[in-house]
Amino acid sequence: MIKKIMAVLMVVGLFGGLAGCNTVAGAGKDVQRGGEAVEDAARDVQY
């Protein structure tokens, strides 16, 4: 469970770093996508 969440966080971080964001709005969208990925992983583990 923890390993899956950590893997998701690493992937999100990697893509966030590669994509980069030039604005505060872009940073907010990146953070939101990361949160959604964590929520999805938590839901997957719950079932």
Per residue in 5-22, pLDDT (tens digit) is 888 888 877 776 666 656
Higher-confidence position of 22 and 40: 40
Return the residue matching tokens 């998701």.
8
Higher-confidence position of 3 and 20: 3
For residue 4, is it within any domain? no
Q: Which domain holds residue 38?
A: 20-47
Instruction: Report the chain's mean pLDDT, rounded to a whole number.
Output: 77
Domain count, the chain: 1
Share of the chain above pLDDT 70, in %: 77
Name the amino acid, one letter, at 14.
Answer: L
Please give the pLDDT value at position 18: 62
For residue 26, is it within any domain? yes
In a 10 Å sphere around its CB, with 0-12 CB exposed, 13-18 middle and 19+ buried, how is residue 9 labelled?
middle
pTM value is 0.46
